[in-house]
Amino acid sequence: MIFAGIDIGSITAKAAFIKNDKLMATKVIPTGYNPITAGEKVFSALLEQTGIDPRDIRAIVATGYGRNSVKFANRAMTEIICHGKGAHFLDPRIRGIIDVGGQDSKAIALDRTGQVENFAMNDKCAAGTGRFLEVMAKALEVKLEDLGTISLGSRAPSKISSICTVFAESEVISMIAGQQKREDIIAGIHESTAARVAGLVTKVKLEAPIIMTGGVAKNQGMIKALENRLGIEILVGDYPQENGAIGAAVIASRIHLQKI
């Protein structure tokens, strides 16, 4: 039996199929302006990619900020629960999740069965999120996906004192005018972001092993900054962006089989 999970985030839409408790395939596309269209597009794209007939999908669970826009889903679930299920499905050892997405960041503590024990979330301020990094990348005229690689060349990270995205951007512009090295500015941006995220981790008291999910997990500079700040190793799996969608698919299978 095949089950589907769809995660509509602020920047990307993700879909995942699982069959017989094994991951079949995933797909990531830009969300764009319309989350309803994004859900339909990412689901159709994964059907086409796998050659699966939509009638063979037994149940669909939607998650993410746009979960309620996926009208063809059987149920909508919060991303907190879905991220927990996804991480546990992919690696049952995981006890903590750091999820940094486009519009929020989360720290999630799991028990041995993948159930959420506690969590903390920042969804009120762009600082500490992917949006913060996106704004800074534009100010520095650097591609978002290149931030991590460039920052690894820094030997003296700049100090970003502002915790507000608008004021931090002004700081960065002043640093550019002052001819500070680009890699140092970016490393400083990562350290500033890591400080905000680390506050959530400390609040929830995450225990290792900890995995990072969300698009920002692909940023090596952010991983390094978080590891230095927290003093622990942070794992990154093969599907950091798709983790929520995978968890949603797992939940779809459990609901269908009446295990939850």
**Burial tier of 199 (Cβ tally within 10 Å: 0-12, 13-18, 19+):** middle
pLDDT tens per residue, range 21-30 = 999 999 999 9
- Residue 152: DSSP 8-state: T
User: Could you tell me the pLDDT band of residue 20, with boundaries at 50, 70 and 90?
Assistant: very high
The partner residues of 118 in beta bridges, in order of sequence, read 109
The answer regarding whether domain 92-235 maps to CATH 3.30.420.40 reads: yes
List the structure tokens of 38: 């994004």
- Percent of the chain residues past pLDDT 90, beyond the cut: 82
237-253 confidence digits (pLDDT tens): 999 999 999 999 999 99
The answer on pLDDT for 128 being more than 90 is no
Q: What is the pLDDT of residue 124?
A: 66
Measured distance CA(46)–CA(17) in Å, rounded: 8
Q: Which of 218, 215, 169 is nearest to 192 (CA)?
A: 169
**Is it the case that residue 256 has pLDDT exceeding 90?**
no
- CATH assignment of 2-87+241-256, among 3.10.110.10, 3.30.420.40, 3.40.50.410, 3.40.50.2300: 3.30.420.40
- Unique residue bearing structure tokens 């486009």: 102
**Considering the entire predicted model, what is its pTM?**
0.92
Q: In the chain, where are the structural domains located?
A: 2-87+241-256, 92-235
Cis omega before residue 54 (within 30°)? no
Q: How many angstroms separate the CA atoms of 208 and 178, rounded?
A: 41
- Do the domains 92-235 and 2-87+241-256 match in fold? yes
